[in-house]
Homo-oligomer: A and B are copies of this chain.
Amino acid sequence: MTPDGFPVVGIVGAGQLARMMIQAAIPLGIGVRVLAERADDSAARVCPDVVIGSPDSAEDLLAFSAGCDVVTLDHELVNLEALERIEAVGGIVRPGPFTLRFAKDKAHQRREFSAAGLPVPEFAEVESAADIEAFAGRLGGWPVVVKAQRGGYDGRGVWVVDGPTAAADLAREAASRGVALIAERFVRIRQELAVLIARRPGGETAVYPVVETVQRDGICHEVLAPAPVPPEVAARALAIGRQIAELTQATGIVATELFWSEDGELLINEIATRPHNSGHFSIDGAQTSQFANHLRGALDWPLGDTSLLAPYVVMANLLGADSESLAPRMAQALMQPAPGVHPHLYGKGVRPGRKIGHVNALGDDPAETRARAVRAAALLTGRTE
């Protein structure tokens, strides 16, 4: 508890999501402690209460949680057994291990979602190249998507496999690393959508407008709010998001990424049981940001209004283009015609392709708003596209 009686939220992990939670915590009077791996992690740089430790270490997690009224998470790469032990000694973890397992374990998630009638692509747990080939055969051919059930390796966890040779290579590599796999139908995507929902432990929810996430090479480049889709597609997406929030017993934000397929299907791609890149538009673009609502949900406080502050809000990620500092480009990027763009930098070193920040733009015209966000992002990162 803070000296003035407010709760202290412990955040496991000190990346940009923790950093933006800290920003949201300040005006609410909420105390924040972060468990950082390094003192110069994104959130550790802006937090006066930093504990250095590992999210894999049960000892570190237990010691960290002792000083916190509620523990929440910057990412899902956390020792679930340790979180259960925190709960066993009376600590509060939100989202808790029950919820987190849906995000961490793809086989578990697909089984549970499928059993609940939620739309997931056809899938199978696979252990060998023969399993992958049999799965492809059942679906009528290649390619199929293969995912690591948990984590992944070399920073990758999703592969598009186009035939028996690739399947054999992947299965061999995965077996040698002890990585369990799941195969899924390859979906021909028309658009990718995301649904963000904040939820309190008792079931109250606050639902953001459905957004489109514009991906290139598997990386989110832009988010368009609201998504330019027919109302009935948005309504179906929201219904899926709501069902997932309830099924997973989410607390704080749960983000559901959806494929809207060329055939008109809506299929669940991934979920995140924490604030998510697809919700960064809400910092400037909604009455209450996803970070404030994550904290409010985790603390079991009433949730804030999720409506947009402008007809169109566009987020563009800042993806490192070179190893130069962003600093010299800042003034140029801010020199926008009104109404401007809102930069959000993560205080992370610049590396090619790394997400180092984002910008939000609000406007009355979707194309103009998007162009403004994209231009500012290009100026900040030094891209010439």
A334 and B4: CB pair below 8 A?
A: no
Asked if A4 and B350 sit within 8 Å, CB to CB, the answer is yes
A331 at the binding interface (Cβ < 8 Å): yes
Number of interface residues of A (CB under 8 A): 53
The docked-state distance in angstroms from the alpha carbon of A327 to that of B40 is 31
Please tell me if A111 contacts chain B, counting CB pairs below 8 Å: no
Contact of A301 among B23, B29, B46, B330 (CB under 8 A): B330
Residue of B nearest to A23 (CB): B26
Interchain CB contact (< 8 A) of A27 among B40, B47, B345:
B345
20 A-B contacts, Cβ less than 8 Å apart? A4-B325, A4-B347, A4-B349, A4-B350, A6-B326, A7-B327, A19-B26, A22-B26, A23-B23, A26-B46, A27-B283, A27-B344, A27-B345, A287-B340, A287-B362, A302-B331, A304-B340, A305-B338, A305-B340, A307-B339
Contacts of A28 in B (CB 8 A): 330, 343, 345
Q: Report the nearest B residue to A39, measured CB to CB.
A: B48
Classify the secondary structure of A's interface with B. loop
Known: A27-B345, A288-B340. A327 touches B5 (CB 8 A): yes
List the B side residues contacting A345 at CB < 8 Å. Answer: 6, 27-29
CA distance A102 to B59 in the complex (A): 57
- A330→B296 CA distance, assembly (Å): 11
Cβ-based interface call for A2 (8 A): yes
Partner of A327, one of B6, B307, B336: B6
Is A3 in the interface zone, CB < 8 Å from B?
yes
Any chain B CB within 8 A of the CB of A219?
no
A283 neighbours in B (Cβ, 8 Å): 27
A residues 22-43 in Cβ contact with B at 8 Å = 22-23, 26-29, 40
Which residues of B are found within 8 Å of A338, using beta-carbon distances?
A: 287, 305, 307
Say if the beta carbon of A328 comes within 8 Å of chain B.
Answer: yes
Interface residues of A in 186-224 (CB under 8 A from B): none
Point out the residues of chain B lying under 8 angstroms from A2, CB to CB: 45, 347
- Which residues on the B side are within 8 Å of A304 (C-beta)? 334, 340
Given contacts A23-B27, A302-B334, A338-B307, contact A45 B46 (CB under 8 A): no
Q: Which of A365-379 contact B (CB under 8 A)?
A: none
Min Cβ gap A208→B in Å is 13
A309 CB–B CB distance under 8 Å: yes
* Chain B proximity of A47: nearest CB distance (Å): 6
Chain B residue nearest in CB terms to A49: B48
Complex partner residue of A46 from B3, B48, B331, B334, CB under 8 angstroms: B48
